[in-house]
């Protein structure tokens, strides 16, 4: 591999030989570090000196020292090698898909369509069922981006992580067709006081549990949690088994083909679930900035973060963050 400009051909192997020899000031030790013979190392140094038009080392029987030219070029050569390593690393990263955790299969369905339809990026999708359980995977660099409600987590859990809001998702009420409220075309949160709401238990999903508790407390709607479920089909089975149960789900949920269920909009006010993107601050994946730019542009264009105090509801901590303009 070489760097060539204006008739000067710089071989990266020769530059590495120069830096290693300058660090050791001993051709034998430098050759051993590079897994070369001393003859091969000397040849690389000599060819680099011929290219540069000057000696880099003063060679003696028992002494090797840098020349003035060598001392002047050493820091520049180190910078050149570091830049070359960054180029190679970026090229390798660009070949790797951006790894996203999509929260869980029974919520956030708009995210899947957004990722598939609008984000023109190579993606590798996974689901750890909640943002809370995805945080450790983010820190271990097993995934690059996660989705979820960040203000439902303790600040200490978000250390070394960055986040930005993506969407305030309207929630609907999902229930069996045999539920007493199933014939209504629209419901107010207060209408749920007689039957309450229910949500499946998800290990680590403290941010989701916190949202449901905030909703329950604010609207004086009873809340029941459990058992643990992972798919929409399992949730619907529970709704059919207990026809008095109501589950809050995102407005884009694909429930049209699920028999004997009713998906009813909530209004006066409409509860919104706040989704954010979360990533490691030190993540240098070259596709990450493209994803974040697309997210910002789409949220602005589609009005995904629109909030009207008289028409919408958010938990107090999410509303405070939104009002302050914090990510």
Tokens of 288: 């990450």
Mark whether 76 and 111 lie in a shared domain.
Answer: no
pLDDT at 117 over 80: no
Identify the three-state secondary structure at position 53. coil
Question: How many domains would you assign to the chain?
Answer: 2
Q: What pLDDT band is residue 204 in, cutting at 50, 70 and 90? A: low
Mark whether 77 and 159 lie in a shared domain.
Answer: no
**Unique residue bearing structure tokens 């954010």:** 276
The confidence score (pLDDT) of residue 159 equals 85
**In residues, how long is the chain?**
327
Q: How many C-alpha atoms does 2 have within 13 Å on its Cβ side?
A: 12
Mark whether 310 and 197 lie in a shared domain.
Answer: yes
Given 3-state DSSP classes, what are the helix, strand and coil percentages for the chain, each rounded to the nearest 5? 45, 25, 35
Mark whether 244 and 309 lie in a shared domain.
Answer: yes
Cα four-point dihedral sign 20, 24, 27, 33: negative
Q: Residue 226 and residue 199: Cα distance in Å, rounded?
A: 6
108: left (phi over 0), alpha (psi -120 to 50) or beta: left
Q: Residue 127 and residue 147: Cα distance in Å, rounded?
A: 10
Mark whether 103 and 79 lie in a shared domain.
Answer: no
Distance between first and last Cα of the chain: 43
Range of the domain at 20: 2-95
Of all residues in the chain, the percent with pLDDT exceeding 70 is 86
Residue-wise pLDDT for 4-29, tens only, equals 444 567 889 999 999 999 998 988 89
Mark whether 253 and 305 lie in a shared domain.
Answer: yes
Beta bridge partners of 271: 313
More confident residue, 251 or 307: 307
Q: Residue 228 and residue 12: Cα distance in Å, rounded?
A: 57
CATH of the domain at 75: 1.10.10.10
Q: Where is the domain boundary, 95, 114, 135?
A: 95
Strands 98-101 and 123-126: parallel
Output the pTM of the full model: 0.68
């Amino acid at each position: 591999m070489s760097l060539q400009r204006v008739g000067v051909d710089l071989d990266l192997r020769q530059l590495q030989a120069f830096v290693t020899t300058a660090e050791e000031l001993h051709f034998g030790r430098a050759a051993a570090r590079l897994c070369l013979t001393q003859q091969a190392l000397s040849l690389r140094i000599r060819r680099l000196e011929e290219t540069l038009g000057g000696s880099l080392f003063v060679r003696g029987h028992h002494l090797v020292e840098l020349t003035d030219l060598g001392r002047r070029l050493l820091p520049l050569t180190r910078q050149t090698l570091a830049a070359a390593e960054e180029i190679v690393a970026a090229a390798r990263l660009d070949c790797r898909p951006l790894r996203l955790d999509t929260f869980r299969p029974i919520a956030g369905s708009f995210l899947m369509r957004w990722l598939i339809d609008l984000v023109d990026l190579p993606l590798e999708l996974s689901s750890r069922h909640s943002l809370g359980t995805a945080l450790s995977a983010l820190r271990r660099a097993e995934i690059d981006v996660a989705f979820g409600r960040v203000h439902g987590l303790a600040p200490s859990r978000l250390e070394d992580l960055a986040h930005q809001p993506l969407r305030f998702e309207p929630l609907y009420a999902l229930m069996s067709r045999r539920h007493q409220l199933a014939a209504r075309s629209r419901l107010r949160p207060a209408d749920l006081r007689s039957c309450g709401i229910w949500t499946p238990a998800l290990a680590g999903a403290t941010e989701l549990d916190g949202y449901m508790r905030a909703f329950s407390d604010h609207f004086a709607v009873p809340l029941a949690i459990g058992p643990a479920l992972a798919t929409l089909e399992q949730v619907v089975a529970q709704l059919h088994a207990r026809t008095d149960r109501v589950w809050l789900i995102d407005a884009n949920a694909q429930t049209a083909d699920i028999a004997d269920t009713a998906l009813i909009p909530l209004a006066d006010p409409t509860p919104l679930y706040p989704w954010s993107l979360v990533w490691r601050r030190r993540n240098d994946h070259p596709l990450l900035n493209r994803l974040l730019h697309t997210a910002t542009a789409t949220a602005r264009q589609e009005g995904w973060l629109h909030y009207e105090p008289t028409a919408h509801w958010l938990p107090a901590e999410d509303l405070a963050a939104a009002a302050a303009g914090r990510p």
